[in-house]
Amino acid sequence: MTDPNEALIIGGGPAGAAVGILLARSGREITIAEKSSTTHDKVCGEFLSGEAVQYLAQLGLDIRALGAAPIYGVRLARRERIAECELPFPAMALTRRKLDEALLELATHEGVYVRRGVRIDGLRRRQAVWSAQVADGEALQARSVFLATGKHDLGGWRRPKGKQNNLVAFKMYFALVTAQQNALRGWIELGLFPGGYAGLQLTEDGNANLCLLVNQKRLRACGGDWQTLLAYILDFSEHMAERLEGAVPQLQKPLALSSIPYGMLLHDSEPDLWRLGDQTAVTPSFSGDGMSIALHSAKVASDLYLNGGTSAELAARLHRELRGSIALATTTSRLMIAAPELAHLLRVWPQLLRVLGTRTRVPQTALVG
Ligand SMILES: Cc1cc2nc3c(=O)[nH]c(=O)nc-3n(C[C@H](O)[C@H](O)[C@H](O)COP(=O)(O)OP(=O)(O)OC[C@H]3O[C@@H](n4cnc5c(N)ncnc54)[C@H](O)[C@@H]3O)c2cc1C
């Protein structure tokens, strides 16, 4: 067997790229294996919360220079608009196409060996060395593995199912008519409909990202068909219908994702297996906090790793820090679908929106500066 690498990172999304950058800056020899060979769109609302913006700045990534669009407020709509409030933090919107590539470029610049088009199919540990099986038959050896495959589980390493796992996600970009683009600028809008909810915001190129979650029952009632589902949502929601009137889809078909283990949060890990981002915690999407968790886990993991900590300590710490916000986000997400009429509470108490916005994210006390 050849001498194993010090550390292998599997997956080059925000979590994997960030931990790679941080470890390489401390002089460690790091390899990232990323299955995609080129830039591509990902199922994501592309909302960067205040904590994510802060962590990206710490990494030295200037997202404004990449064109990130500022977001100042959130609006909630059911049939019509119900409530709106300023966000409790400055947020941004940036396509994953741009963000993920910029992070991998930065990782390369810092000396990480970034291997694109390398899909890991299996992972096992023998005599304190991990062996990752590449799809083409090659095996990569490492003493430590950072598991950052995000939404996709590695063969043999399935995550628990989570607490809300019956939702299917769709994402589509639209070019809005000018008046609607102007009305949306600076806002993230959440639209509730029977069986799901949708988020809409502008990205850096001026297109609107519509990212929605729908339960399987509603999707079946729509014949599993995107056009029927979209027509159903627009028929129900005056607000969304106004925004998308005359809008032109920008992808041939929507991106889709199912079996998302919302509410999943691990509390332990195998020796020298550092689980990051969606591989350790999956918070409901309406909170727009998944990327913050990914970047936070990367920062905590790199600090622990460089200071002789263990992967079990990482899991325990993230569990302690995130369990409250993920539990609240999961309960809220269930209510948004099971009892959306409760959202009308926000009409009389709009500050509740702000409270939920604050309490469903990585707590300020946990952030590492
Ligand atoms: C519908 C929806 C909307 C969302 N909206 C938002 C939002 O607006 N804001 C927000 O902050 N979060 C949002 N999220 C959550 C966010 O997308 C994730 O939390 C975040 O991407 C996690 O980062 P990650 O690095 O852990 O994983 P990912 O971003 O999924 O990255 C994993 C990487 O690993 C690679 N990979 C996977 N398998 C392998 C393999 N076997 N071998 C090699 N490479 C592999 C993938 O190609 C990918 O590049 C949303 C999620 C969903 C489902």
> Using 50, 70 and 90 to split pLDDT, how confident is the model at 80?
confident
How much distance in Å is there from the Cα of 303 to the middle of ligand 1?
22
Query: Would the pLDDT of 2 be above 60?
Result: no
* Identity of the residue numbered 36: S
How much distance in Å is there from the Cα of 12 to the middle of ligand 1?
9
> Using 50, 70 and 90 to split pLDDT, how confident is the model at 331?
very high
Please give the number of the atom of ligand 1 that sits closest to the Cα of 211. Answer: 1
Domains of the chain: 5-162+260-366 (3.50.50.60)
| Sign of the C-alpha dihedral computed for residues 185, 186, 188 and 193 taken in this order | negative
Query: Mind spelling out the 3-state secondary structure of 244-278?
Result: HCCCEECCCCCEEECCCCECCECCCCCCCEEECHH
- The answer to whether the CB of 93 falls within 8 A of the CB of 204 is yes
| pTM for the predicted model, two decimal places | 0.97
**Who's near 261: CB < 8 A, 6+ residues apart?**
159, 160, 161, 162, 165, 282
Query: Would the pLDDT of 5 be above 80?
Result: no
Our mutation pick for probing the ligand 1 site, out of 48, 97, 285, counting the most ligand atoms within 8 A of Cβ, is: 285
Cβ of residue 28 lying under 6 Å from some atom of ligand 1: no
* Exposure on the CB side of residue 9, measured as CA atoms within 13 A: 34
CB-based burial label for 6 (10 Å; 0-12, 13-18, 19+): middle
How much distance in Å is there from the Cα of 127 to the middle of ligand 1?
31
CA-CA distance, 20 to 31, in Å (whole number)?
8
Query: Would the pLDDT of 3 be above 70?
Result: no
Query: Would the pLDDT of 58 be above 50?
Result: yes
pLDDT digits (tens, 9 = 90+) for 120-179: 999 999 999 999 999 889 999 999 999 999 999 998 899 999 999 999 999 999 999 999
pLDDT digits (tens, 9 = 90+) for 231-261: 999 999 999 999 999 999 999 999 999 999 9
Q: Look at residue 306 in the predicted model and tell me its pLDDT.
A: 98
